[in-house]
Chains A and B, each alone.
Chain A
């Protein structure tokens, strides 16, 4: 899956999605009638049809860090962009937009406990502030670096949350020829900091129906918290999460479409987290909104793991629902 590898290896921390946006636009140009980029940086692609106005959304951004201060010795202090767990990021590599790699370290006293963010720093090997400032400015974002691997039917990569969702939308767009419904494929920004890009994009599109495509947690690893979602069991049809109660009509239409096309699916009830669906369904006078989720292990780490078969099931379900709603 060359495209998925390309998408996950690109960096697009919330607010700095430029590289991912450019990649997506060049990939989808051939498969839609019109593309706009809104004030928040979201890509809105229109695939015209005469039927219902449906918005599909997948967020382009990923979690990361942002430089806040550079000290005299060239060490960079930083803040989080989106949900990161400080005990998991020590010694991780981060990559700034210009390709500069930094290692996350912590002040000595922090080693025995869960380090607090203000006691951590990024080391880019600079010997002074002046040297560091040649490569990094305050306000620059950096993504967690990690490789791309496919083996045993799974894909392991950083930022599968939510480049996998972007991949699913793109592949669904390619599958859809002569669609009867009026389709908008939206690649949103700043989901990880509060479902922000989806809000303005949904206002502009003003859809009748919406489907968010994102990742979800699983309950299938040893001693995992109880959750009825597993890898390799198909596309997850969301019932609810903290941000949304999915519209019953949309949910039922997804189940019917999956059954008809023999697409494997499972139901998802997520009691934490939110998705773009949360922002979209409250737009204007309300939008009937559902969500398709890709089961994902080790979310928000550089080694997110998903099933290739599940990804393909999500593509099929997205394409199927586009013309059955």
Chain B
């Protein structure tokens, strides 16, 4: 699974432009599913018939990652851009990026430090004051390689990091890797595997994907910012990396079904799955989009803890991926909940 998550991380799939990730996933799941379709939003909906199918279960993860989009090219050949999804802009200055389907190299630049006024040095730079340098000498030179509307992402860089894994987009691809693994086996229940688009800009693909699907319960697999890092007080840590899969009881967009979540958490603990509680109620997940589409569906949400999420260097633990797969396997396998 570590190899799969590294490969997935290295693909570009900024919200609305998930093509490369979708193609990778479609190729791998074609022998594993009975029916596969791609909806108008670009989400993949794969159905696997159960061996003894009187119940239907949904497992879902999102494909897209945060990134940028080209908005303008200046007279001097610099590329202005807007963000797609949320960023802490302090993390993006001086980072390398890839632009458009051709993968044009760029560097995110800002004004030299000695030219910044005192208040500029003290506050966080805004995206509107940044630009991308693609080594062009003027507008017409830049226009040969880049155009407004081109998507921008961080370059592929996934690799092992000691006992962990680093790379961009791991906060979404962790869930995709889990679903790919989960699709390898047979279940008693009918299972829909949904790989959603456009989560990072408002849980959009998930809500659309649910139309026309009739299932009894859903489980969303997410990546969440762990806040588990140097200098953070225990009470402010969301979840510990390597501490197991995290069970989500509330975020800014959803309250997963409280009763099912409680039963699921107890079940995982009793089954010896490495599991932890989420220690705050922040973040956003696809659970809200899925839970409240159409007539609604009873939904739970688990997450792989991610350090430095929404940066080019997310860090996750392989053991947490394993735990997430084991947890989802129990969810999909049980007849009742």
The contact string, 1 if C-beta is below 8 Å from chain B, for chain A 64-87, is: 001011010000010111000000
State in angstroms the CA–CA spacing of A15 and B253 once bound together: 12
Interface locus among A153-161, A198-206, A224-232, A316-324: A198-206
Contact B295 A38 (CB under 8 A): yes
Contact A196 B278 (CB under 8 A): no
A39's contact among B255, B258, B291, by CB below 8 Å, is which?
B291
Contact B294 A200 (CB under 8 A): yes
Contact B255 A193 (CB under 8 A): yes
- Residues of B with C-beta under 8 A to A204: 295-296
Interface size on A, as a range, is 20 to 34
Contact A16 B258 (CB under 8 A): yes
A103 interface hit (Cβ, 8 Å): no
The minimal Cβ–Cβ distance linking A22 to chain B, given in whole angstroms, is 13
Contact B250 A200 (CB under 8 A): no
B236's contact among A79, A118, A201, by CB below 8 Å, is which?
A118
- Residues of A with C-beta under 8 A to B262: 137, 139
- Contacts beyond the supplied A66-B249, A77-B235: 10 A-B pairs with Cβ under 8 Å: A15-B250, A40-B296, A66-B281, A77-B279, A137-B262, A138-B277, A139-B261, A199-B296, A204-B295, A204-B296
Contact B255 A199 (CB under 8 A): no
Contact B281 A200 (CB under 8 A): no
B297 interface hit (Cβ, 8 Å): yes
Cβ-closest chain A residue relative to B216: A39
Contact B278 A138 (CB under 8 A): yes
- Residues of B with C-beta under 8 A to A14: 255
B235's contact among A71, A81, A141, by CB below 8 Å, is which?
A71
- List residues of chain A with CB under 8 Å of any chain B CB: 14-16, 18, 38-41, 66, 68-69, 71, 77, 79-81, 118, 137-139, 141, 190, 193-194, 196, 199-201, 203-204
Contact A200 B295 (CB under 8 A): yes
State in angstroms the CA–CA spacing of A203 and B234 once bound together: 42
Of residues 70 through 91 on chain B, the ones whose CB sits less than 8 Å from some CB of chain A are none
Provide 7 A-B residue pairs closer than 8 Å at the C-beta atoms, listed in order of the A residue: A14-B255, A15-B250, A41-B257, A69-B235, A196-B288, A200-B292, A203-B296
Contact A40 B291 (CB under 8 A): yes
- List residues of chain B with CB under 8 Å of any chain A CB: 234-236, 249-250, 253, 255, 257-259, 261-262, 277-282, 288, 291-292, 294-299
The minimal Cβ–Cβ distance linking A25 to chain B, given in whole angstroms, is 16
Contact B250 A81 (CB under 8 A): yes
B296's contact among A16, A39, A66, A118, by CB below 8 Å, is which?
A39
State in angstroms the CA–CA spacing of A38 and B292 once bound together: 11
Contact A39 B281 (CB under 8 A): no
Contact B279 A69 (CB under 8 A): yes
Q: A38-B295, A196-B292, A200-B295 are in contact. Are A139 and B258 (CB under 8 A)?
A: yes
Contact B296 A200 (CB under 8 A): yes
State in angstroms the CA–CA spacing of A141 and B291 once bound together: 20
- Residues of B with C-beta under 8 A to A200: 292, 294-296
State in angstroms the CA–CA spacing of A204 and B278 once bound together: 32
The minimal Cβ–Cβ distance linking B215 to chain A, given in whole angstroms, is 10
- Residues of B with C-beta under 8 A to A190: 255
Contact A199 B292 (CB under 8 A): yes
The minimal Cβ–Cβ distance linking B192 to chain A, given in whole angstroms, is 16
- Residues of A with C-beta under 8 A to B259: 18
Chain B CB count within 10 A is highest, among A69, A79, A80, A196, for: A69
Cβ-closest chain B residue relative to A190: B255
The minimal Cβ–Cβ distance linking B289 to chain A, given in whole angstroms, is 11
Contact B280 A79 (CB under 8 A): yes
- Residues of B with C-beta under 8 A to A196: 255, 288, 292
The minimal Cβ–Cβ distance linking B83 to chain A, given in whole angstroms, is 24
Contact B279 A203 (CB under 8 A): no
